[in-house]
Amino acid sequence: MIRALMIEAENMTRFHDVAEAPLGAGQVRVGVRHIGLCGSDLNTFKGLNPLVKLPRIPGHEIGGEILAVGPGVDSAYAPGRRVIVMPYTNCGECTSCRKGRLNACRYNKTLGVQQDGGLAEEIVLPAEKLILNDTLPPHHLALVEPLSVGFHAVERGRVAKGDRVVVLGCGMIGMGVLIAAVARGAEVIAVDLSEEKRALAQQFGAVQAIDAGREDVVARVSELTGDDGVDVAFEAVGLPATFTQAIDLACFGGRVVYVGYSKAPVTYQTQFFNLKELDIMGSRNALMRDFQNVISHLAEIGDKADALISKVFPFEEAEKALPYWDSNRNALKIVIERGA
């Protein structure tokens, strides 16, 4: 038996002993070492995630170590090597998969969402979902997936050197957008209600950070861009007000990328879709090349990435982690750590 944390009901998590999954052909048994909590895990905990059926083991931001391999697995996947988990599935047959857009598979089952996740001592996964990495510090492996979602959004938005960019919402996804856009030479304006998150955004290269609670965001961005608006506006909050604001912030001939999920319907005045001839894009999950880009970037910035981790809980105290985040919403990333 292995220990796993389950979200049993709204506001209730508890450790359970669950049977070890059998190790089939092509599969690898991974000892979970670090696991980050995602906003989607918090939504599940609050009973606000319609994709999840309870009880569910949450967690899809996973760094670990290979414990054992099943038959037919490449010898590179040797016990003791460290891995980053790609927590999505792709059917290979839907239209997205056929176009090579595996991140948007119609039948995707993300770990911890549509199937049990990684907040456990071990998890068994197909070898092709594991990225070997023995060079990054182990606790940074859990940062790769959430940052890659932001990196993918920046790829979608075709952000280029010299672009002016606004990022609405500086949670971990917005921070990934910011970091990737800055790395491409864009000038990034960050917007958030939280002072801590704005400070962190500036630490990671935002040229301006606007307090959405006190300032008129559209007026301020207009002022900062000489009345033009931005080349690319990213929505990483998930509220109707920021969905429509992104349209207002984009320049004529600009682009809008939606990476946040709005739970409520959004009402638009659509004329600016046409008048500005906007490219409006959705962005979902991430591709292998986004993961690789994040890994390279983390290798470059080294210890600086530690600033993205707000709090670490030992695995034994994982029950406290979601309630803690619920009452400390300014926390950017909470990581659970398991000793070897």
Contact between 247 and 278 under an 8 Å Cβ cutoff? The reply is yes
Considering only 4, 28, 57, 105, the residue that binds Zn ion (CB under 5 A) is 105
Q: Which stretch binds Zn ion (CB under 5 A): 35-43, 126-134, 204-212, 329-337?
A: 35-43
The set of residues, in sequence order, having a beta carbon less than 8 Å from that of 308 and lying 6+ positions away, is 143, 172, 175, 200, 332, 333
Q: Which stretch binds Zn ion (CB under 5 A): 31-39, 185-193, 210-218, 297-305?
A: 31-39
- Residue 7 touching Zn ion (CB under 5 A): no
From the CB of 242, what's the least distance to Zn ion, in Å?
19
Q: What is the DSSP string of 9-35?
A: ETTEEEEEEEPPPP--TTEEEEEEEEE
Nearer to Zn ion, 90 or 242 (CB): 90
- Residue 125 touching Zn ion (CB under 5 A): no
From the CB of 90, what's the least distance to Zn ion, in Å?
5
Considering only 4, 7, 52, 97, the residue that binds Zn ion (CB under 5 A) is 97
Q: Which stretch binds Zn ion (CB under 5 A): 38-46, 130-138, 152-160, 216-224?
A: 38-46
- Residue 177 touching Zn ion (CB under 5 A): no
Considering only 23, 54, 67, 91, the residue that binds Zn ion (CB under 5 A) is 91
The set of residues, in sequence order, having a beta carbon less than 8 Å from that of 5 and lying 6+ positions away, is 13, 14, 15, 16, 57, 58, 59, 119, 120, 318, 319
Q: Which stretch binds Zn ion (CB under 5 A): 21-29, 85-93, 262-270, 277-285?
A: 85-93
| Total number of residues that touch Zn ion (CB under 5 A) | 6
Host H or E run for residue 257: strand 250-258
Contact between 167 and 245 under an 8 Å Cβ cutoff? The reply is no
Contact between 37 and 321 under an 8 Å Cβ cutoff? The reply is yes
- Residue 94 touching Zn ion (CB under 5 A): yes
Cα distance between the two ends of the chain: 17
Find, among 116, 118, 130, 172, the residue nearest to 318 by Cα.
Answer: 118
Nearer to Zn ion, 12 or 94 (CB): 94
Residue 333's identity, in one-letter code, is: K
- Residue 237 touching Zn ion (CB under 5 A): no
Considering only 38, 111, 183, 309, the residue that binds Zn ion (CB under 5 A) is 38
**Distance (Å, rounded) from C-alpha 37 to C-alpha 55?**
17
Nearer to Zn ion, 79 or 282 (CB): 282
| Paired tokens of 259 | 């990476």
Per CB under 5 A, residues contacting Zn ion are: 38, 90-91, 94, 97, 105
